Structure 1
Amino acid sequence: MVRHILFGKQEIGKVERELKELMSLLEFQLDSMPGIELVTASALIAEIGDVRRFPNANKLARFAGIAPVYFGSGGKGKMHKSKRGNRALHALFYNLAVQQVQVAKGSKLPRNSVFYEYYQRKQEEGKTKGQALVCIMRRLVNIIYGLMKYKTAYELPIIPEKEEVL
C-alpha cells in the first residue's frame, strides 16, 4: 500500500514490466527458487553485479560478509563472524534464509522442506538458531552463484522418505 502512495499503480506496473524484461534479457532464472520474487531477484542482481568477477562461490560469500574470518596470532585463534562485506547483500541472504525455514501460520508445512530439515539438523548438532541460519545463508550463496553463473532454473531436490525403525 505504501508503494502505491509513493508511485501510482501505472508506474509500479511499468517498473515491474521493465524488471521482468531485464531479467529475461540477462537470462537469469532466480525467481524459480521459492522465496525469490521479482524484487528480490533484481536486488540480488544489483548487489552482486557481474557474477563472473567471482571465481567461485566462496569469494561471493566473502564479498557478502557470510564467510567466517580467522582472528589469531602466534598459532592461537578462532573463527569469528565477519562484520565486513556488502551489508545489503548480507541482509538479502539473511531474509532469504529466514523465508526458507519459515512455517506459515495455520500450516504445518515449511516453505522449503529441504532447508527446514537442514536447519533442524544443524540445531540438533548443537548450533544456535543464528548459527543454523548462517549455514543456510552459506548454502543459498552456493545455489544463487550457480543459478547466476550457469543461468539455470532452481530445481527442488527430492528427499527420500525415512524408513521407520522398529
Structure 2
Amino acid sequence: MEVPQQVMLSGLYEVTPYWSLMGNVGWQNWSAFGEFPVGISTAKQRTVEANLHFSDTCQIAIGQQLRIGEKWLSSAGFAYDSSTVSKSNRLPTLPIDRQLRYGTGIQYQINSDITAGAAWEFMDAGPAPYAARRGPLAGTLQGHYSTNYLNFVALNIIWKF
C-alpha cells in the first residue's frame, strides 16, 4: 500500500511579541493512495489492481497564537481540506466529504526545558452523499449520511534537552 506524499508551505508572522498569525497551504497525493493490489493465494497467484478513484487534495489553514503572561500560550485555528473522492466514486464504507476543522489549545511552560499542553479539534467531515455503481445486475447504491462530526483531544509534553 502506498501512503500519500504531501507538500506543505507554512508561515508564522509575529505581529507583536504576544500575538502571532500562522497559515499554511498544502497538497496531498491521494490519487496514488487509492490504487493498490489485491491478491488471492492459490497455486497460480492472481492479483488485481483495485482503484478507489481518489483525487489529490488541497488544504488551506489559518491560525493564531496568543501569549498570556509569561508561561501561558493559547492557540486557535481553522482549516479546510478538499474531498478525497467525488460523489460518484464515494463508497458508503468511507463517508468523508470535504473537511472543515476548528481547533484550539493551550500550553504552560513548567520550566525552561519542559512545556505541557492540551488541544482540542472539531472536524466537520461533510454530509458525504454517495452513488456507488455496483454493476449491471446489482444497480446503484445511493444515499447520504448525516454530516459526520469528529472530535480529537491531545495532551502533549515538550522536553528540550
User: Is the TM-score greater than 0.5?
Assistant: no
Q: Using structure 1 for the length normalisation, give the TM-score.
A: 0.20
Greater fraction of residues in strand: 2
Is the radius of gyration larger for structure 1 or structure 2? Answer: 2
Q: Return the structure number with greater relative CO, CA threshold 8 A, min gap 6.
A: 1
Q: Using structure 2 for the length normalisation, give the TM-score.
A: 0.20
Greater fraction of residues in helix: 1
